[in-house]
Amino acid sequence: MRTIIEPFRIRSVEPLRRTTREERERLLITAGYNLFQLRAEDILLDLLTDSGTSAMSTAQWAGIMRGDESYAGSESFYRLKRVVDDLTGFRHMVPTHQGRAAERILFAVMCRPGHVAPSNTHFDTTRANIEFNGAEAVDLPIPEAADTQARIPFKGNMDVEALERLIADKGAARIPLVMITVTNNSGGGQPVSMANIEAVRAVTSRHGIPLYLDACRFAENAWFIRRDEPGYGAMTPKQIAQKMFSLADGCTFSAKKDAFANIGGFLCANDDRIFEQETNLLILTEGFPTYGGLAGRDLEAIAVGLEEVLHPDYLEYRIASTAYLGRHIADRGVPIVEPPGGHAIYIDAGRMLPHIPREQFPGQALAVELYRHAGVRSVEIGSVMFGDKARFELLRLAIPRRVYTQSHIDYLVEAILEVNERKSSIRGLRIESEPPFLRHFTARFAPVSA
């Protein structure tokens, strides 16, 4: 049969509260038109992020009940370590309370002022942690990614020739590591091919530069490789993931994405000296190395989730569900980053709202209007999040794993199309206040006068 169904049954439900348009307008004013500042109970469909918002399985909840809360030497840690060792093959692993904690430790150890850290595209917390340590975060997406409408596979790849030029210009000594984000979140959730990872690895090996993966969505990336890259169709997602990790020297990982967990992450490395420094910093800021800021029950949930996420039935459903949303709005005239990615659909707000200039934040304006119209929370990925480093003005609709049903997605399609019909009436926004880092979380906005 052609219909792809959710490969799970729902055994527990959480009620959703409907609000009126008038209520939502008042809530937007109170929140300073920043959707991060809204209360969750005032959201109908919450697509702000897929991080930590997954529905856990019965096996994960069973694992939580056996969590070993010992301060040192927890059996839950060793169960997680066995799963991570089998999956990644890295020599060392420490848990952290989430992915950005792993980033903070990694870049605190490896980055210094004057360093340059290239990636296919850094996400917000990655860039912020690099810059906080005085280094420069450089994005090297492939040239084809500059066209959001181009329907080509593996638009998340790194530009290998640009990496070679950067190393020649800056010198290998100034580049402490190269990072590849799989999938490429800021680039539209686009996957990275195995051939591209191999090519980057060849460059870094030749220059003696460590290669790290930001592996938050490694399983979704593995599925795209299996589906779209020649030579991988007969391999399991796990086998593909293992090969991806084998090409790297370490990784950061947020278990709040491709492990279905509500909290957690880990940091892996092969280098003994680097790992010793990371462990010392972990003890100082996160906790003992066998719990790393997490409860034992969280370690258990991550261990189970890392195995469940690689099931082919789940990955087929996950990618098909996201593509369903993308195609149903794109084919009706809403410009998205093509082709649909794995965890989210990205609307090209700059293309959709050409009457709103960049300095009036078209992505944020569209996010506000979608909430005002339908109670849907999303997130801007553009000039609010990245300032003058933003390549596009995007609106991300991140789909939590195993949470929403087909009818929810159909409601979302209807809401987006209705907003699109009167897009010319949407007004831009201006910033009233902002913090020095990661301003999109707490900045306050006001509508620009007509």
> For 97-141, how does the pLDDT look when each residue is reduced to its tens digit (9 = 90+)?
999 999 999 999 999 999 999 999 998 889 989 999 999 999 999
Pair 327, 292 in one domain:
no
Residue 149, in any domain of the structure: yes
Whether the model pTM is above 0.85 = yes
Q: Quick one: pLDDT at residue 24?
A: 98
Q: Pick from 308, 329, 357: which residue ends a domain?
A: 308
Residue 220, in any domain of the structure: yes
Q: Quick one: pLDDT at residue 4?
A: 82
Q: Above 70 in pLDDT, residue 450?
A: no
Look up the domain containing 418 and give its range.
Answer: 21-50+311-447
Residue 216, in any domain of the structure: yes
Pair 300, 316 in one domain:
no
Q: Pick from 274, 308, 342: which residue ends a domain?
A: 308
Three-state helix/strand/coil letters over the chain = CCCCCCCCCCCCCCCCCCCCHHHHHHHHHHCCCCHHHCCHHHCCEECCCCCCCCCCCHHHHHHHHCCCCCCCCCHHHHHHHHHHHHHHCCCEEEEECCHHHHHHHHHHHHCCCCCEEEECCCCHHHHHHHHHCCCEEEECECHHHHCCCCCCCCCCCECHHHHHHHHHHHCHHHCCCEEEECCECCCCCECCCHHHHHHHHHHHHHHCCCEEEECCCHHHHHHHHHHHCCCCCCCCHHHHHHHHHHCCCEEEEECCCCCCCCCCEEEEECCHHHHHHHHHHHHHHCCCCCCCCCCHHHHHHHHHHHHHCCCHHHHHHHHHHHHHHHHHHHCCCCCECCCCCCCEEEEEHHHHCCCCCHHHCHHHHHHHHHHHHHCEECEEECHHHHHHHCCCCEEEEECCCCCCCHHHHHHHHHHHHHHHHCHHHCCCEEEEECCCCCHHHCCEEEECCC
Pair 274, 327 in one domain:
no
Pair 182, 147 in one domain:
yes
What is the spatial distance between Cα 380 and Cα 366, in angstroms, rounded to a whole number? 8
Residue 158, in any domain of the structure: yes
Work out how many domains the chain is built from and give that number: 2
Instruction: Give the domain CATH number at 382.
Output: 3.90.1150.10
Pair 297, 369 in one domain:
no
Give me the mean pLDDT over the 2-11 stretch: 87
Pair 142, 239 in one domain:
yes
Give me the mean pLDDT over the 344-350 stretch: 96
Pair 70, 36 in one domain:
no
Pair 280, 303 in one domain:
yes
Q: Quick one: pLDDT at residue 212?
A: 98
Residue holding tokens 């609106």? 395
Residue 3, in any domain of the structure: no
Residue 1, in any domain of the structure: no
Q: Quick one: pLDDT at residue 386?
A: 86
Pair 274, 154 in one domain:
yes
Q: Pick from 279, 308, 337: which residue ends a domain?
A: 308
> For 24-76, how does the pLDDT look when each residue is reduced to its tens digit (9 = 90+)?
999 999 999 999 999 999 999 999 999 999 999 999 999 999 999 999 999 99
Tell me the Ramachandran region of residue 289: left when phi exceeds 0, alpha when psi lies from -120 to 50, beta otherwise: alpha
Pair 147, 231 in one domain:
yes
Residue 10, in any domain of the structure: no
Give me the mean pLDDT over the 214-222 stretch: 96
> For 163-212, how does the pLDDT look when each residue is reduced to its tens digit (9 = 90+)?
999 999 999 999 999 999 999 988 888 999 999 999 999 999 999 999 99
- Tokens in use for 157? 């790849």
Pair 258, 349 in one domain:
no
> For 376-421, how does the pLDDT look when each residue is reduced to its tens digit (9 = 90+)?
999 999 999 988 888 899 999 999 999 999 999 999 999 999 999 9
Pair 365, 354 in one domain:
yes
Share of the chain above pLDDT 70, in %: 100
Q: Quick one: pLDDT at residue 186?
A: 80
Residues in the chain: 450
Instruction: Give the domain CATH number at 178.
Output: 3.40.640.10
Residue 6, in any domain of the structure: no
Q: Quick one: pLDDT at residue 133?
A: 94
